[in-house]
Amino acid sequence: MSVTEHLKGKSIVVTGSGRGIGRTIALEIAKAGGNVVVNDLDRDVAEEVVAEIKALGVDAVANTDSVADWEGANKMVTQAVDSFGEISAVVNNAGNLRDVIFHKMTQDDWHQVMNVHLNGSFNVSRAAATHFRNQESGCCVHMTSTSGLIGNFGQANYAAAKAGIVGLSKSIALDMQRYNVRSNCIAPFAWSRLTASIPATTPDQIARVEKLKKMTPEKVGIVVAALCSDRAAHISGQIFAVRMNEIFLMGQSRPERSSHAGDGWTIDSIFETAMPQLESHFYPLDRSQDVFSWDPV
């Protein structure tokens, strides 16, 4: 397989890249000529991906630090600089699931997911930020989810973390724009080890899982590689969703309608005037599969 030069000379950390979407992201970056720090808690699977990348004629190193650990996040970024001379981008892909209906969710369920997804994305991005600032260039790509953007059952921890990542990404884009650092999010639709843990006992759940199985992670990996390239230098602060051969630009919160009372509001006037004016634009309690209701193409 020929390697292109879209990412030649770049050094990219991909977290959670031993399996699933992360592995595919690492391989697509390598196919575009980028050197990769393959991060996974399991050294054996990380080394397997490193071997696959080296077989392409591109360099890679394995890293087993946890994104949830501040020192670990700094070590993986330092490893990229030590191994390849610089850090060009970070891809915050590492994830976990602890799905449970909200009224049964424990603090441990909450913290386990928040520490990996949201804290992990902060830790790795922050570790790279000093290097990005000093070299006046850099790129962050974060994995969000339609569970956070739209909603889903039994994923309050995951949805909150993924929605938080969107806010984190936008803040990085705003704060670091002056240093030519960009930050974007991708909400991936793909079958992976993570999504394989989604419960599938009801007809609705089974149908959702069957749709996910049709969506391969390669479709996500190529978009990540593109966003890491110099051709994406003008793209920052955006949220994309990737589903099979579809790329969606997702909306961001903006005012929909307003209602004004010159003398101020009372409880009665709020329900007599404001709410009737606004409620035609209320959002229904949709889930991801309600909004993306057609089969992937």
Please identify every residue annotated as catalytic.
Answer: 158
Q: Are 89 and 114 in contact (CB under 8 A)?
A: no
Comparing CA positions, the residue from 175, 20, 177, 25 lying closest to residue 91 is: 25
* Cα 178-84-68 angle, rounded to 5 deg: 70
If one counts every other C-beta atom within 10 angstroms of the C-beta of residue 28, the result is 24
Could you give the 3-state DSSP secondary structure of residue 96?
coil
Which residues does residue 283 pair with via DSSP β-bridges, in sequence order?
Answer: none
Which residues does residue 142 pair with via DSSP β-bridges, in sequence order?
Answer: 92, 185
Amino acid at 209: V
Task: Dump the DSSP string for 121-169.
Answer: HHHHHHHHHHHHHHHT-EEEEEE--HHHHT--TT-HHHHHHHHHHHHHH
H or E stretch covering 219: helix 218-228
Q: What are the residues whose beta carbons fall under 8 Å from the beta carbon of 147, sequence distance 6 or more?
A: 155, 158, 159, 162, 288
